[in-house]
Each structure stands twice: as structure tokens, then as C-alpha cells.
Amino acid sequence: MIDRAQAKQQGIFIDEFLIKVSSDDMYLYLEIDPKNPAIISALREKWEKIRGALKENKILGILEDPDFVNNMLIVAKGLPPKDPIPEKIELFEKFLPLLKRDKDLEKKCREASEEEAEDLRDLCQSIICAKKGEAIGRWFPSIPGTPGVNVWGDPIPPPPLSEKPSFTLGNNLYIDEKDNLIKAKESGVVVIEKNVIEIYPEYTLKGDVDFSTGNVYFYGKKFTIQGDIKFGFKVICEGELELQGATENKVYIDVKGSFICQGIIRGEETKIKVKGNTQIKAVEFATLEIEGNLTIVNYLIFSNCIVYGNITATSGKGIIYGGEVKCSGNVEAKIIGNASHTPTKVFAGYNPELIEPYKRVLKEEMKIKEVLERLEQGIRLGEKIKKYGKLSEQKEKILLKLEEEAEKCYKTLEKLKEEINNLRKLIAEYKSRTIKILDKVYAGVTLGITDITYTLNENKSGPIIFYLEADKPVLKS
């Protein structure tokens, strides 16, 4: 057997060839000039003998053919250990902007034209949410290293897993063992801080919704905005929304949950849709659709509103004037109208899903009646001519056609009458609604219950209640 220590110091002699051992015991090699044909020829002649001698001495990794590397002719090679692969997380494309954001993107967005900015508002999103059960990425478990072996047959342990995981998961995320997908336990904003990925069902934006955030599509319990929503931006929120600032123009807000807001201002093209109760301090020039109750603290002016609950404006200034306010429930306000007699319409008991079809059907009924009246005139004239035997064959055909069309009108009217009666029954349930004015209502204001209206021709001081009695409007002090 080869003496290992001696071999490392002096090498291994096999015939005239000196085989050396690398310092790490991973190679046996000869130091020869690859351009010397005599040595190469002698080595080829003796190669099988050299291989046999190495095998007898239990050397591992003997090559079938020697391999030249930097003037070294490698004759045996150990198997190096394989490094371990640490665990890793790969986020799906939707969430990649959380890792890397174009530093110049916000600047590009601010400098873009309004047409270009419309698309960029979505492109520069920085608040990204996941729904409950949604996968945000995939987890790849660590793979341990594989031991190696040197030319003496000694095992070489792999290096340890020294790297820490690139990310750790917060309490609202979990790994689905079926497919190693990382999924959300709760809906909320995905945040990466200090190498921790977490989902926040309640999230506070400490600033404005602008090009630094992009449009916001929130899913969770509550989203709080401490700043404003700037011109042209959207906030789509499945959960509660609290806007501690105000809106600029051309803002779109859609909330499936309650909504609290300081102000909807400068909002000629601003639209607000809420499925839940809403409290707003002040509204100017906006379009509101609220499937719930609306509470106004100071004023609701020059706005078009549809509210499927009650409207209350009794705290703060409590003013309503300008535009059309349609409410399915009751309305209560301190002041309706203003000293300038701005046209103002306020309805209680107005359910647009009933009133609008009702108005449409009445209009359709009127048109059918007008057509039928003209048809009946033609039929009467045709029958008169026919009575005197002066109706030609061609005109008799026309008379038959008029009678057919009249019959169609009669049938259509029957259907419309049935629809009108059904709608009237449903609308009647809303006629008990009232409008209460605590302080003052001004001349020029139109008050309505369902589709029945009353326009004031003089100012009146409150408290006043407006209601219907036997389908007639009553204004009672």
C-alpha cells in the first residue's frame, strides 16, 4: 500500500513516472510538458500499468484517459462535495414591483400628458393586494449538499447551509404543502419590510394617492388614506375606506363597505359609488351613488346623488343646495336651498330602480296611445268609406293592416297597464317617507316624495316636515 504521508511529500513513483498528490488530496497528477512527444509516447505505453498500480493501492477516481490541465496531466480525480441550495421564494409577476421599482417611473408619470397618464396611473402601482387564498409566489425548500470523496476514499462533508432564507413569511401568509404555493390567510396589502413578507388587512397610507402609489385596488378590512386622492386617480376598495384628506377632480371611488371622508371637492367629474353607509364632511360638484345611509356634516352642494338609504345633514352646517338629491329613505337637513334661490331638487322615497322604469313605462304608454288614436281615426274613416261601398281592394288591405296594428297596440297597452299597476304598488311602499327641515328651506326648492313634487314659492323657517297625504304633498310647520 502507498504511504499516504510519504506520497504527499515525495510523490508516488511508478516506473520512471513521478505522480504527485494535490494539497487537498483531490488530484493525482504528473508535471510534464505536453509538447514533449517522447514523454507522451512513454506514458501511453505505460498507462495501463500505471492505472493498474493505482487501483491496487485503492486510489479512487482514476481516469480512463489522462487529462491535461495547465501543464499538469491529471490521472486521478476525487469527487468534490456539492454545495447545498438554500430555500428561496419566488414572487409571481403581479407582486414583483414590490421588489424592484423603476426609480424614474414616478417622474415619467408626472411629466406625461393627460392621455398617457391615464394608463400610467395603473402602471405605477405600489400598493398591491392579495385576496384571501390567493397565491403570491412559490416556496422552494432547501436542498442539502452531497458529500464528496478524495482520491484516498476519504469522505468530504458538504459545506453547511450558511445562508439565511432570502425572505421569511409573516403571520398572514402560509405555505400550501400540496404545491408549495405561498398563499394569503387574509385579504390585504402585501408588504415587504426587512426581508419579511406580510399581508396587512388594515393598511394606512401616510400620504396621497398620486403617482407615487398609482391607482389603488384594495382588498381587506380597512384602508385609510391620511392624505388626498389627486386628480384622475382611482381607489377601488373591497373593505372600509377612510379618506382623511379630500379628493381633487376626476377621481373615481368605488367602495364595498363603509366610507368616511373629509371632503369631495372640485369634483365636476368625480364619481363615488359606495355599497355601505357613508359619512362625508363636505361634497361639491360630484356624482354619488350610495347603497346605504348618507350622513353629511357640513354641506352637499351642486351634486347629483342617488342614496338607497336615509340622508342626514343635521350636524355641522347641514346644508343641501344645487343639483338633484334622490333618496329612497327619509331626508333630514338643517337647511335646503340658499339665498340665491339656486335650483335644488330633493326627493325622499325615490327608488330609481322603481321610479325610472315607472316613468319610462308611462312615457311608452303615452306614445302607444297616440299611435292608437291615429290608427283608430284611420279605421273609422275606412269603415265609413266601406259602408258607402267606395273602398277599393287596395284600400281594404290598408284598412286590414290598420286593424292589425291597432290590435297589437291594444295588447301592448294591456301589458303596460299591468306593469304600471305593479310598479305603483311597489312605489306606494315608499310614499310614507318624509323630508324634515330643521332651520330653513328657500324659495325655488323642489321637494318630492316618490314621483310627486312640490316647489316652494317663498322661504320658510323650520322646523318643517314634508310628506304625502292621500298622494297630495303637504308642507307642515
Report pLDDT digits (tens) over 308-320.
Answer: 999 999 989 999 9
Which pLDDT value is given to residue 386?
79
Model confidence, pTM: 0.80
Question: Residue 359: pLDDT above 70?
Answer: yes
Closest CA to 451 of 322, 345, 294, 365: 345
Measuring CA to CA, which residue among 300, 334, 301 is closest to residue 315? Answer: 334
The pLDDT of residue 329 is above 70: yes
Cβ pair 341, 443 in contact under 8 A: yes
* Position with higher pLDDT, 259 vs 160: 259
CA dihedral 215, 221, 226, 230 (to 10 degrees): 20
- The grid coordinates of residue 280 equal 362625508
- How far is it, in rounded angstroms, from Cα 408 to Cα 259? 50
Starting at the edge strand found earlier in the chain, the sheet holding 88-91 runs 88-91, 135-140, 181-184, 173-176
What is the Cα–Cα distance from 235 to 81, expressed in whole angstroms?
Answer: 54
DSSP string, 358-420: HHHHHHHHHHHHHHHHHHHHHHHHHHHHHHTT---HHHHHHHHHHHHHHHHHHHHHHHHHHHH
- pLDDT given for residue 245 in this prediction: 95
Mean predicted confidence (pLDDT) in 425-439: 96
The span from the CA of 312 to the CA of 331, in Å, is 6
Contact assessment for residue 155 and residue 183, using Cβ atoms and an 8 Å cutoff: no
Average model confidence (pLDDT) across the chain: 90
The single-letter DSSP state of residue 212 is T
- 213 contacts 127 by C-beta, under 8 angstroms: yes
The pLDDT value recorded for residue 42 is 82
Q: Say what the pLDDT of residue 234 is.
A: 95
